[in-house]
Structure 1
Amino acid sequence: MTSPQSDEPAAKPVIVSVDDDPAVSRAVVRDIRRRYGQHYRVVRAEAAEQALDALREMALRGQQVAVLIADYRMPGMDGIAYLEQAMDLFPHARRVLLTAYADTNAAIDAINVVDLDHYLLKPWDPPEEKLYPVLDTLLEAWQLADRRPVEETKVVGHRWSAASARVRDFLARNQLPYRWYLADEPEGARLLAAADADPDHCPVVITAGGTTLIEPSDAELAGEVGLHTTPAENFYDLIVIGGGPAGLGAAVYGASEGLRTVLVERTATGGQAGQSSRIENYLGFPDGVSGSQLADRARRQATKFGAELITTREAVELAVNGSARTVRFADGGQIDGHAVILATGVNYRRHPAPGIDDFTGRGVHYGAALSEAAHCVDDDVYVVGGANSAGQAAVYLARQARSVTILVRAKSLDESMSHYLIEQIRQIPNITVRTCVEVVGAIGDDHLRQIVVRDRVGGDEETIDTQWLFLFIGAAPSTDWLDGVVFRDEHGFVLAGPDLLVDGTPPAGWQLSRLPHHLETSVPGVFVAGDVRADSAKRVASAVGEGAMAVMLVHRYLARP
């Protein structure tokens, strides 16, 4: 594989072209340099991965990329998949797909998948008629766009610090750029000295504005890095609690239909789905979409329609005050509204094995913890769980790790994982699936060193060397704060609609003449959507659909309480 080729000064904005056909690749770059070489640096690559490596280097150096041009048919990674990954690095760059006539349908699909700006049919001769007018328009749009470089937050901490892992995960899940420095390495030590910070009190966060935070809480961090943490009003038409797919769906539909809508999220929008490396069975994304991309698009869509998004506020109480519904927060604040949608999702269940809690954040991670994936290079990684979230994490981690082993209590993955994902795992050589096993212990010093695995059939135990354990062991709703107000099942999931009825009779305390609406809880005007609802489908698509449906029912409630 050749290196990306460029002979232009690095200070210019960049146009990147990738095509696996050397002749086509050279022709594209020749024509682009002839017209734009004076003002733009032109980079040529002959493979998608090669181009992505070059883009990552440009991102690290703070360079600006104006246009991404990719051939559709490339081995290993096609042009759509490449552009989708590239847009995570340079979201403001304009995107062009080169296609043959037979691939025009794929190009049209790419408009939805990667927000494609244009597709060009090959050959594009003469460029004066078919290439330059397109690039002129795209470059003009890029120049007019707000593309000011985002200054990075600096995080200094210790490699196996749970607090440092929490800060990195918080920033990553909120899609806030940061640079990580080890406290015991020269640059990290220099930053600590400049901030007059003690290495024993890490993590230390230095914001882009120069503010130093010592061991910050999520709320302190959010307030300094530009996240909204305080509602602008005291009263809303609709309060959405939880920022996963269901909550984001409700916020989009609520705000777009004219309701004064606020979404309150405890940590980061996206929920568990937002931590997924790749969701491939979501309607409209045939090549898959990362959870962070989906969450970011939904977040931007909600704010475009006027929804308020509030982070790092934890709801701890729900109360009925006449026609108003009151949500109180852990910090003592509160907001009121006509209606509430509960979309708090679920958390991964805590693993009961001895030692697990001791190494959480220090080699043991609940969920994907994608911020840690880059540190797993050439290591042996273990993933516990048999559902889609575990499979998606294994596929993602396998790109960096030497090996990934999925540990499953059941006899096979077929019981809980989608068929497409099982087939995908079978085709990845460094992923192994071990069935009928469970983790019964974790051993280490300052971080995880070994796990103990038991065969559930024979009872034999095995001690395995590893520094990485990712846990996906089932769902537990965080609904204790609703105790005594909203009816829940024996597992804590919220009951709604028909599930509240006993022999067709509404629940005790229901004072309205009508029956509860389909997603309405035992409290009129309080609705539930997504994974936190009893007997929900536990899928992204159904959660988004329920969020939208809940808004429709809110309108019905507001019209006739």
Structure 2
Amino acid sequence: MTAPRDRNDSPAAVKPAILSVDDDPGVSRAVVRDLRRRYGEKYRIVRAQSGPDALDALREMKLRGQPVAILVADYRMPGMDGIQFLEQAMDLHPYARRVLLTAYADTDAAIDAINVVDLDHYLLKPWDPPEEKLYPVIDAQLEAWLCTEHRPITETKIVGHRWSARSSEVREFLARNQLPYRWYMSDEPEGARLLEAAGTDADHCPVVITAEGEALIEPTDAELAARVGLNTTPSKDFYDLIVIGGGPAGLGAAVYGASEGLRTVLVERTATGGQAGQSSRIENYLGFPDGVSGSQLADRARRQASKFGAEVITTRDVVGLEVRGAARTVRFADGDSLDAHTVIVATGVMYRRHPAPGIDDYTGRGVYYGSAMTEAARCANEDVYIVGGANSAGQAAVYLARTSRSVTIVVRAPSLEKSMSHYLIQQIENIENITVRSCSEVTSVAGDDHLERITLRNNATDTEETVDAQWLFLFIGAAPGTEWLDGVVVRDDRGYVVAGPDLAIDGGRPRGWPLERPPHHLETSVPGVFVAGDVHADSAKRVASAVGEGAMAVMLVHRYLAKP
């Protein structure tokens, strides 16, 4: 009889393990020798000489997502006997087949173990010849194991609480950075097994386990980025161009800057794509007649920029901009700084905070700013409320309506017509489970450990209604978040960056402009510092226009470099 083959014969597949634990070195070596000779090609044979050592190995394999097919444990071991070991091992790898090695005198104990640890087989020592006494037993156990569902999970794993704000942030961070992950709730069996393998408990969630098996307990975004393969440190001290912000404008600038030979680095605080990267489907972007998701568009643009040589660094928060002679210095929150000849500010906008009482208490626990794509699977067959009347709200509504029981769009305006694209309005009108509540707003939210109720006010009828709701997504306008530029470049009264001809006052000298020549079209009041995208005062707030401004800004950078 030949050894059963693993269901995945790919060379890249993770080999399932067969673990043998025995405190007698001679017996241990003999077991492993015989197992390796028969099964070593398709299975990883692991040897341990004590129960605690074997449990350590099993925890490591659990974190790495390596499946364990069979556990072979000697009954008589000091400190922790085979039954005690198998009892703890089954908490980590419940699908592994369990075999106990016993002497003839210990047969009764082996039989008792069938009930204690759900033993699959006990094997009397000695097992010579293995072809008659060992291999038939292992073959049968492998056949049984291969019939169970035990596919290894080798991507990043997150263990957390369902209604934890930080757990939600970690999922959002990985999703927006195009990093696959598997989510486990801490109060479910597999989540508990992973926490045990990581040496922690539910009080210290979220726990992120990398594909390499490293456990990160309550990690920051910077720690996550460094462990999952994102670039967080620039390779140079000086560049031709620093692009601040990784939305469509910043990505467009990075692509054109790098492709035209500029030493270019793009600095992003969270993830490339910006608000557009959170859109479930953009259907009016040139060249994509069937639409494209914001994350797909951002991923393609990021890879395109990298192909041309642009560096993309994440989890670096820009807090200041300084002029040092011909250099433009960008300061980071951690105290580091980076210099370049030129800078393009493409930081986009952020969703405004909702003023209703209780909103901040439930953010990440039923209340979400954006995040529709990340949370969609968790609100399937439930009632969802969306606040906002622009395209981002409409795209989220269409996406969530696929799986949710109902979607209600709450908008203060009498209709969606002034703020949303016509094609989206038409789609919404044709989706039966989407309702639009016009002239309405959310006035308060409530619940215990998560959102459970929201109060809606109809401003036209001056009435209020409290409804049951566990999911509230907010898309309520935008704020530029340019406080870090205060006193450096000219901004308008809403914080948007003013550039080019808009700097002029009554046809006179541009505000704050130090040179004789006029500023270039997208140049701010600081020569060599340009602006592109939604953060630009009076911008179009569309993906295509943002990409176009990013490309145009690079053209103007070349002009500046040729003649500052």
Does residue 1:245 correspond to 2:245, yes or no? no
User: Residue 272 of structure 1 is aligned with which of 271, 275, 285?
Assistant: 275
Residue 367 (structure 1) shift: 1.1
Q: Which of 369, 392, 395 is residue 366 of structure 1 equivalent to? A: 369
**Residue 368 of structure 1, CA deviation:** 3.5
**What's the counterpart of residue 111 of structure 2?**
none
Does 1:295 pair with 2:298? yes
Find the counterpart in structure 1 of residue 403 from structure 2. 400
Question: Do the aligned residues in 1 keep the contact of 2:490 with 2:512 (CA within 8 Å)?
Answer: no
Residue 238 of structure 2 aligns with which residue? 235
1:539 to 523, 539, 542: 542
The answer as to 2:393 corresponding to 1:390 is yes
Query: Do 2:156 and 2:210's aligned partners in 1 also have CA atoms closer than 8 Å?
Result: yes
- CA deviations 1:475-497 (Å, max 9, x no partner) are 00110000000110000000000
Q: Which residue of 1 aligns with 2:110?
A: none
Looking at structure 2, the residues matched to 179 and 288 of structure 1 have their Cα atoms a distance apart, in angstroms, of 27
1: CA distance between counterparts of 2:203 and 2:373?
Answer: 26
Kindly indicate whether residue 254 of structure 2 is the aligned counterpart of residue 254 of structure 1: no
Measure how far apart 1:262 and its partner are: 0.1
The alignment covers a number of residue pairs equal to: 420
TM-score (norm. length: structure 2): 0.73
Instruction: State TM-score, norm by structure 1.
Output: 0.74
Aligned-partner SS, 2:516: coil
Separation of aligned partners in 1, 2:262 and 2:154: 35
Distance 1:503 1:338 in 2: 31
1:352 is matched with 355
Measure the CA separation in 2 of the matches of 1:528 and 1:508.
Answer: 16
1:341 pairs with 2:344? yes
Among candidates 410, 413, 435, match of residue 413 of structure 2: 410
Partner residue, 2:449: 446
Q: 1:478 and 2:462 equivalent? A: no
> Could you list the per-position Cα deviations for residues 436-493 of structure 1 after superposition, in whole angstroms to 9, with x for gaps in the alignment?
0000000111000000000111210000101000000000011000000011000000
Counterpart Cα distance in 1 of 2:511 and 2:171: 46
**Are the aligned partners of 2:439 and 2:459 in contact in 1 as well (CA < 8 Å)?**
yes
CA contact (8 A) 1:325 1:339 kept: yes
Query: Which AA in structure 1 matches 2:194?
Result: L
Q: Do 1:155 and 1:180's aligned partners in 2 also have CA atoms closer than 8 Å? A: yes
**What letter matches 1:431 in structure 2?**
I
Report matched runs for 1:4-403 at 5 Å.
Answer: 11=8, 151-403=154-406
Task: Give yes or no for the alignment of 1:490 onto 2:493.
Answer: yes
User: Aligned pair in 2 of structure 1 residues 12, 431: CA closer, same or farther (>3 Å)?
Assistant: farther
Q: SS at 2:527's partner residue?
A: coil
Amino acid at match of 1:386: G
Alpha-carbon distance between aligned partners in 1 of 2:396 and 2:403, rounded to the nearest angstrom: 12
For the Cα contact (< 8 Å) 2:490–2:511, is it kept in 1?
A: no
2:558 equivalent to 1:521: no
How far, CA to CA, are the matches of 1:292 and 1:352 in structure 2?
29
Corresponding residue to 1:501 among 484, 500, 504: 504
Alignment partner, residue 458 of structure 1:
461
Q: Deviations over 1:490-523 (max 9, x none)?
A: 0000000011001222334422111111000000
Rounded to whole Å, the distance in 2 between the matches of 1:197 and 1:529 is 46
CA–CA distance in 2 between the matches of 1:435 and 1:10?
55
**Structure 1 residue matching 2:190: 3-state secondary structure:** helix
Q: Is the 8 Å Cα contact of residues 503 and 511 (structure 2) preserved in structure 1?
A: no
Q: Is the 8 A contact 1:229 1:312 kept in 2?
A: yes
- 1:408–1:10: structure 2 CA closer, same or farther, 3 Å change rule? farther
SS of equivalent residue, structure 1 residue 391: helix
Question: C-alpha deviations, 1:220-260, integer Å up to 9, x for none?
Answer: 10000000000000000000000000000000000000000
Rounded Cα–Cα distance in structure 2 between residues aligned with 1:195 and 1:443: 35
Q: Percent identity?
A: 76
Q: CA deviation at 1:10?
A: 6.3
Other-structure match for 1:108? none
- Distance, in Å, in 2 between the alignment partners of 1:168 and 1:257 is 36
Give the AA of the match of 2:173.
Answer: F
Q: Which amino acid aligns with 1:406?
A: I
Quote the Cα distance in structure 2 between the aligned partners of 1:10 and 1:210: 23
Which AA in structure 2 matches 1:445?
A: D
Query: Secondary structure, in 3 states, of the residue corresponding to 2:286?
Result: coil
- Corresponding residue for 1:555? 558
Of the two, which has the highest radius of gyration?
2
For the residues of structure 2 that align with 1:299 and 1:152, how far apart are their CA atoms? 21
What is the letter of the counterpart of residue 539 of structure 2? S
Is this contact kept in 1: 2:157–2:182, CA < 8 A?
yes
1:97 corresponds in structure 2 to none
Distance 1:549 1:156, change over 3 A: same
Amino acid aligned to 1:528: V
**Alpha-carbon contact 1:169-1:369 (below 8 Å) kept:** no
Deviation (angstroms), 1:389: 0.3
